[in-house]
Amino acid sequence: MAKIIVACGSGVASSELVVKHIVDFFDDHHITGVEVEATDFKKLPDILANYDVYVWIARPNEEIQAIVDKHHIASVNGLPIFTGQNPEAAYRDIIAALKAMQA
């Protein structure tokens, strides 16, 4: 099962909203086998390596980017999903990352 983590400052409002949108998108497009979770930015360094895709709302700092690079985690800008401005681009990036896992 593929695992996606969405992180924001507190792990409550923004990331939970983006998780809901991603889950709804997957449901609408009959995409299964993907676990989507939210967390706060403080916990991210300890858990990020356990995920396949990192959807960020605030640009990753150097520490987070180093983890992403080391573990070959796909990094997707989730801000378009959060704002509703061209969310299709972010969904395409997520789908591309999931397909790349299968290749």
* 2, two tokens: 């593929």
Walk across the sheet containing 2-8 and list its strands: 34-40, 2-8, 53-56, 74-77
* Amino acid, single-letter form, for residue 46: D
Asked if residues 17 and 89 have their Cβ atoms less than 8 Å apart, the reply is no
The segments of the chain whose pLDDT lies below 50 read none
Q: What was the pLDDT predicted at 3?
A: 98
Asked if residues 83 and 34 have their Cβ atoms less than 8 Å apart, the reply is no
Strand partners, 90: none
CA-CA distance, 6 to 17, in Å (whole number)?
10
Q: What was the pLDDT predicted at 102?
A: 82
- List the chain domain ranges: 1-100
> Which residue has tokens 């983590």?
5
Of 97, 57, 60, the residue nearest 80 (C-alpha)? 57
User: Each residue of 7-18: pLDDT tens digit?
Assistant: 987 656 899 999
Which CATH code, of 2.40.50.100, 1.10.10.60, 3.40.50.2300, 3.50.50.60, is assigned to 1-100? Answer: 3.40.50.2300
Considering the entire predicted model, what is its pTM? 0.94
